[in-house]
A and B are shown apart, each in its own frame.
Chain A
Amino acid sequence: MTVTTPSQTSAAAPQVIRRRRKPLPTRLYKVFRVVALIVVVLFLVAPLFWMLLASFKTNVDIYDTAKALIFSPTGENYANVLQRNNYFIFIFNSFWVAFVSTALSIVLGVPAAYAMSRFTMHRSALVVLMARVIPGVSLLVPWYYVFSNLRMVGKFEVLILSHMFVALPLIVYIMMSYFDSLPLELEESAQVDGLTPIGAFRLITLPLAVSGIATAGILSFIFSWNNFMFALVLSGSNTKTLPVAIFDFVSYASIDWGGLMAAATVVTIPIMIIALFTQKYIVSGLTAGATKG
């Protein structure tokens, strides 16, 4: 991608001017577009807004159609979630598992992605990416067997290990396409100047890859935070993560809707705040490698 052929270089100048064309002319289209965009935004945001509203309602108000939008908000649900159900522990668990599994995956994944990109080890890369394809259930039974024999189910180590399984392939995938786009020449000239290949990787390429690593790290943190199935089976009462803890508000007989919506909001809000501040990284991570065809 980075190799510029002569024809591309000469075409570069007019491209800058042409990149964004004038919008389509007709007024009708403009009106249509505004309406369509409003519908899209409403469709995406309204359900979340509804969840937020319900989390401030009493269970009586949730049942009352007349109080759909106008009601007297209460913080009772949040007090219930955070204090009586001790969600601070689950928040810490989720954070710890996501953070450590992301950090370890970066340590393992970034050098691997570098080697796979530089030496075009596509078959090796497929091994790692297989982890994206295999349904998690098929791994859970054997994992559960081994870890329960080792008396390790319910320990952080096991949860972190299982979440690394989600994070590592993601990081390798994103970083491979990032390294593909970094010019090789810089490293080569550093080697000519006397650096060893590993030295060139450490001192030249790695600093250049920081924003790519940030992208991969943020995305892997989000996926680990949201992961549910592995924690459902492999976490214990002390290591329960937020997505699993939500189910405390659901019993076979009845559902504490207010509490449930407050719990759902508590899980979602931190990750959304992170996402809003790191928007551009998330978008570039999610679309990594997608447009190369």
Chain B
Amino acid sequence: MSVMNAPGSAPARSAGRPPSMGGNFSTWANRHRKWLFAAPAMIFVGVLIVFPLAWTLYLSLTDSQGSVRAKTDFIGLENYLTVLTDTERFWPAVGRTLSFTGVALVCEVVLGMGIALLLWRPFRGEKWVRVAILLPLVATPVAVGMMWRLIFDPNIGFANQLLGMVGIPPQPWLSGQDTALGTTIFMDVWQWTPMVVLILLAGLTSLSDEPDEAARVDGANSFQRFFLITLPLMMPTVVVAILLRGIDALKTFDILYATKGKGGGSFHEVETLNVYAYGLSFDYNQYGLSSAVLILFFMIIIGSMWLLTMRKKAVSK
């Protein structure tokens, strides 16, 4: 994220102190404007984050269940032990979360780079393609999930009708043990590849032409120029795209809930950590256990973000 190394804009404290207006408060406000401006937002977010996180941490050490108001006992790390030794639901959920994120990210970045390169140079009808790219991005994820649920319906869905035309037997898509995760990844790719395209396109347009031109003069063909010049120069932007997209992909909930929840059968085939924790909390009221899952999930997210920022720093150097 750009916050970490945005161009340093030094404060203009040296500008001559203006003649005071409106008495003491104004002077005080001007002198302390740094925190006066920043504090309200920070306090708002801080209260809504720090307190719940602390509570989640506390809950994860208790046997809280049944009702949020029920009495609880402190049981130490027992929940963590239960969760970490749970090979039936927790570890598969970890695996699904990571493979969902990993596969979706790879597809989105590769496709996104391809599409961004297609759009790089001006062409006729550019406007229409841009509109098409924006549509999935702004579409409501739950509605998108419902839309795919119709298209991938085993009996009436368009996907199977299409397969039928070329003589392939119908697939269970969202209800199949092996196909469900892949199908939801496909949905994620449909909705969020455009985001990667926009970011990479912005990166491409801000590239300087000189290195590419020089390579062209030296007789490099377009593949060589892409892999040896453009791609390395684009790496920082690619990492930003992966970072932004990765955080959201790890937390994916809407599409999974829309396609599987309430009447769509069990979540079992697509149960990621987010869905697992949500179910534990709000369907089974196992607050202690779900808090432990969430703390571990949070650690996974922070860990992967940290790895990526390290990588980003290495790339920028």
Given A176-B6, A264-B143, decide whether A138 and B41 contact each other with a Cβ distance below 8 A.
no
Contact across chains for A272 and B135 when beta carbons are under 8 A apart:
yes
Q: Restricting to B1-23, which residues have a CB under 8 Å from any CB of A?
A: 1-12, 15-16, 18-19, 21
Report the separation of the CA atoms of residues A17 and B10 in the bound assembly, to the nearest whole angstrom. Answer: 34
Closest to A270 in B: B140
Contact across chains for B49 and A142 when beta carbons are under 8 A apart:
no
Contact across chains for A122 and B4 when beta carbons are under 8 A apart:
yes
Any chain A CB within 8 A of the CB of B167? no
Given A23-B123, A44-B132, A180-B7, decide whether A138 and B247 contact each other with a Cβ distance below 8 A.
no
Contact across chains for A117 and B6 when beta carbons are under 8 A apart:
yes
Give chain B residues whose Cβ lies under 8 Å from the Cβ of A18. Answer: 209
Out of A168, A198, A250, A257, name the residue touching B262 (CB < 8 Å).
A250
Report the separation of the CA atoms of residues A49 and B17 in the bound assembly, to the nearest whole angstrom. Answer: 61
Which of A108, A141, A272 has the most CB atoms of chain B within a 10 A radius of its CB? A141
Any chain B CB within 8 A of the CB of A124? yes
Given A125-B3, A142-B55, A290-B240, decide whether A225 and B15 contact each other with a Cβ distance below 8 A.
no
Given A137-B278, A138-B56, A197-B33, decide whether A47 and B2 contact each other with a Cβ distance below 8 A.
no
Any chain B CB within 8 A of the CB of A5? no
Complex interface: stretch among B78-86, B88-96, B293-301:
B293-301
Contact across chains for B121 and A165 when beta carbons are under 8 A apart:
no
Any chain B CB within 8 A of the CB of A103? no
Any chain A CB within 8 A of the CB of B241? yes
Nearest CB on B from A263, distance (A): 8
Any chain A CB within 8 A of the CB of B26? yes
Any chain B CB within 8 A of the CB of A196? yes
Report the separation of the CA atoms of residues A165 and B29 in the bound assembly, to the nearest whole angstrom. Answer: 27
Closest to B315 in A: A293
Q: Say what secondary structure dominates the interface of chain A.
A: helix
Complex interface: stretch among B100-108, B171-179, B190-198:
B190-198
Report the separation of the CA atoms of residues A43 and B241 in the bound assembly, to the nearest whole angstrom. Answer: 22
Contact across chains for B236 and A293 when beta carbons are under 8 A apart:
yes
Question: Which residues on B are within 8 Å of A, measured CB to CB?
Answer: 1-12, 15-16, 18-19, 21, 26, 29-30, 33-42, 44-46, 48-49, 51-53, 55-56, 59, 68-69, 114-115, 118-119, 121-123, 125, 128-144, 146-148, 150-151, 155-156, 158, 161, 190, 194-195, 198-199, 201-203, 206, 209, 222, 236-237, 240-241, 244, 247, 250-251, 253-254, 257-258, 261-264, 273-274, 277-278, 281-282, 287, 290-291, 294-295, 297-298, 301-302, 305, 316
Question: Which residues on A are within 8 Å of B, measured CB to CB?
Answer: 1, 3, 18-21, 23-24, 33, 36-37, 40-41, 43-45, 47-48, 50-51, 54, 62-63, 65, 68, 108-109, 111-112, 114-122, 124-145, 148-149, 161, 164-165, 168-169, 172-173, 176-177, 180, 184, 187-188, 191-192, 194-199, 201, 222, 225-226, 228-229, 232-233, 242-244, 246-247, 250-253, 255, 257, 260-261, 263-265, 267-268, 271-272, 274-276, 279, 282-283, 286-287, 289-293
7 tightest Cβ-Cβ pairs between the two chains A and B: A289-B2, A112-B41, A115-B37, A264-B143, A142-B52, A111-B37, A293-B236
